[in-house]
Amino acid sequence: MKLEFRCLATGIGSLPHQDPKAACAFISKYFKEIPFWPQLPQLSAKEDMFIQYIEGFPGVSLDGEKTVWRRTDKFAEELEKLYEHHLQGQYQSYGFGKGYASGFQSFLDSGIVPERAVKGQVTGPVSMGLSLVKEDMRPALYDEELSDAIARFLCLKAIRQENSLKAICRETIMFVDEPSLANLGSAYINISKEQVVKLLGLVFKGISGIKAIHCCANTDWGAVIEAGPDIVSFDAYNYMVNLSLYASEVKALIERGGAIAWGIVPNTVEALQKETSASLKDRLEEGIGLFDRKGLNHRQLIAQSLLTPSCGMAGLPVDGAEKAAELLRELSALLRKRYG
């Protein structure tokens, strides 16, 4: 089955609001077809995308505005329980703790009824593994035992979230957010392509609905697509050419029914001030032409496309987020009118 979203719009996750109800009202106004629950990092440190999802992991505690991992006396016992839960699919105890995702519960309570699908998000295992630092100051990603456990833990977090979202919409889209994959292949991240595919695969395996991956910069898209997502989400405003270098992999994704989420609306005040829905339409069509010239069908790409901001909108003022969302809505309408 092909994922034909035909340029409907959704968000990446984070918003600048500090009131969860106001954030949900914003989503209800601009993202009726595919709403998403809001991450609110301006509200508290607990809403940070790394702190938010590692809460509850064996040995982790919150120290001010950062997480700390220590090998406690109970670590082996807690790790064994985690693996048991993962193997048996026991996800019920892997929800968000109090204050860690106020936007999530507000979203579930808001009465929002998605017209097409509902979107959730979870931090990816590579980015989380780099963010979580061990006692020796080395990232947990480079500890094979810990990186594997983190991926399984995030898988259970994703399953728990997805099952809650299914209560309001049968079709779910779960984004795995991997900003650190931008450093894949560089001196800043010493990890093999095979390990990336393995860790991402552990998270994807638990997701029963539509699986998506988001990276807001350039990366080895071949490795990302090999991991098996249904949707690839990227910053099309700044990195269109970079993804086009992997046209054969993108073509394989599209031909197996997958989709591209084009992050075509910028998430900075300066860029937003100089763009209109018409200029963004031209920019997107010009970028899609790069793939067209490499053997992908233009109309098929449009049909199997989502539109998003280039990344999260938490760094914008609230009126800036309103501007970005309005541009997304207008651009979606323009493209749907042109292509049907």
Highest mean pLDDT among 52-61, 188-197, 302-311: 302-311
Tokens of 77: 């016992």
Query: What DSSP string describes 76-124?
Result: HHHHHHHHHHHHHT--TT-SPPTTS-HHHHHHHHTT---SS-EEEEEE-
Q: pLDDT per residue over 127-161, tens digit each?
A: 999 999 888 888 999 999 999 999 999 999 999 99
- The answer to the question of residue 57 being in a domain is yes
Which letter does DSSP use for residue 216 in this model? S
Q: What ranges make up the beta strands (E) of the chain? A: 8-9, 60-63, 66-69, 118-123, 172-177, 210-215, 231-234, 259-265, 305-309
Say what percent of the chain tops pLDDT 90.
86
The boundaries of the domain holding residue 41 are 8-339
State residue 182's pLDDT score: 85
What's the CA gap between 209 and 3, in Å, rounded?
A: 12
- The answer to the question of residue 2 being in a domain is no
- The answer to the question of residue 3 being in a domain is no
Residue of 220, 334, 239 lying closest to 290 (CA atoms): 239
Q: pLDDT per residue over 76-115, tens digit each?
A: 999 999 999 999 999 999 999 988 999 999 999 999 999 9
Overall residue count recorded for the chain in this entry: 340
- The answer to the question of residue 283 being in a domain is yes
- The answer to the question of residue 239 being in a domain is yes
Average confidence score pLDDT of the chain: 94
pLDDT band at 185; cut points 50, 70, 90: low
- The answer to the question of residue 63 being in a domain is yes
Do 108 and 162 contact (CB within 8 A), yes or no?
A: no
Which letter does DSSP use for residue 43 in this model? T
- The answer to the question of residue 274 being in a domain is yes
pLDDT band at 186; cut points 50, 70, 90: low
**Number of folded domains that form the chain:** 1
Q: What is the rounded end-to-end Cα distance, in angstroms, of the chain?
A: 19
In this prediction the pTM is 0.95
Paired strand residues for 210: 173
Q: Which CATH number covers residue 54?
A: 3.20.20.210
Torsion over CA of 39, 42, 43 and 46, rounded to 10 degrees? 70
- The answer to the question of residue 68 being in a domain is yes
116 pLDDT more than 80: yes
